[in-house]
């Protein structure tokens, strides 16, 4: 019997608390002990939202690092985070991967299918973000970037055949409620809660994710 997801993906997204970027960044550092980094921000130019990097062709306006040495500027201190966003309240929230977590990136349709499969398997995913460009990032323990290709091969897939990648050291994800230009805000498909404080290992989720990506091709 084929696995299906009742309703639309949007219907499955829990209500998002209307937090400011500053409040959210401080909460990530204080409650989850995640490193946070203020990135670029959006500026109104001729009635349009443009990226502060001033590149008119910016691929992710308002949601990428603002400087080359961004990795060294990230902080796990709630006090420092508050100071950073007080300076630039509209700066995006970037969460470096390869530190307290890695992220497995899949298309939105595959992500919701994987979540449904995880529920059937009684697996508890960690936090999961949903981006305006229809990608989902599953937070897992660090080390996924190195392990995932071999795990996918063991399941009988070629890593290049699936739209599934891992983000680790030297990379980042945008944290809610960061906005991507006029496309909308990053949301939590699975928000950080007490129940998912302990992140799963990539090995626990890879079967459901690979299966969903294989179905989504």
**3-state SS assignment for residue 140:** strand
- Kindly indicate the confidence band of residue 129, based on its pLDDT and cuts at 50, 70 and 90: very high
With contact defined as beta carbons under 8 Å apart, do 200 and 141 qualify? yes
Domain boundaries, the chain: 17-215
Sheet holding 172-174, edge to edge: 37-38, 93-96, 172-174
Cα dist from 87 to 21, 67, 81, whole Å: 12, 16, 10
Q: What's the rounded Cα separation, in Å, for the pair 12 and 4?
A: 13
pLDDT tens-digit profile of 134-174?
999 999 999 999 999 999 999 999 999 999 999 999 999 99
For residue 49, give the DSSP letter: E
Q: What is the pLDDT of residue 216?
A: 76
> First CA to last CA across the chain, in angstroms?
19
- Kindly indicate the confidence band of residue 4, based on its pLDDT and cuts at 50, 70 and 90: very low
Q: What is the pLDDT of residue 15?
A: 53
Q: What is the pLDDT of residue 3?
A: 38
Q: What is the pTM of this model?
A: 0.90
**3-state SS assignment for residue 115:** helix
Crossing angle of helices 21-31 and 78-87, in 10° steps, is 170
Q: What is the pLDDT of residue 49?
A: 86
């Amino acid at each position: 019997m084929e696995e299906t997801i009742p309703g639309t993906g949007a219907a499955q997204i829990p209500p998002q608390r209307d937090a400011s970027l500053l409040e959210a960044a401080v909460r990530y550092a204080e409650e989850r002990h995640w490193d946070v980094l203020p990135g670029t921000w959006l500026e109104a130019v001729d009635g349009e939202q443009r990226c502060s990097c001033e590149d008119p062709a910016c691929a992710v306006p308002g949601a990428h690092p603002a400087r080359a040495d961004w990795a060294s500027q990230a902080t796990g201190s709630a006090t420092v985070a508050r100071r950073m966003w007080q300076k630039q309240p509209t700066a995006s929230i970037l969460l470096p991967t390869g530190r307290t977590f890695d992220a497995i990136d899949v298309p939105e349709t595959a992500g919701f299918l994987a979540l449904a499969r995880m529920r059937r398997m009684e697996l508890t995913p960690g936090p999961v973000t949903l981006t305006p460009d229809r990608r989902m990032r599953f937070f897992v323990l660090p080390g996924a970037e190195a392990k995932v290709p071999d795990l996918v091969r063991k399941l009988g897939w070629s890593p290049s055949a699936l739209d599934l990648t891992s983000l680790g050291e030297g990379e980042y994800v945008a944290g809610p409620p960061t906005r991507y230009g006029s496309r909308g805000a990053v949301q939590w498909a699975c928000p950080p809660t007490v129940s998912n404080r302990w992140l799963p290992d990539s090995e626990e989720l890879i079967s459901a994710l690979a299966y969903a990506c294989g179905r989504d091709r």
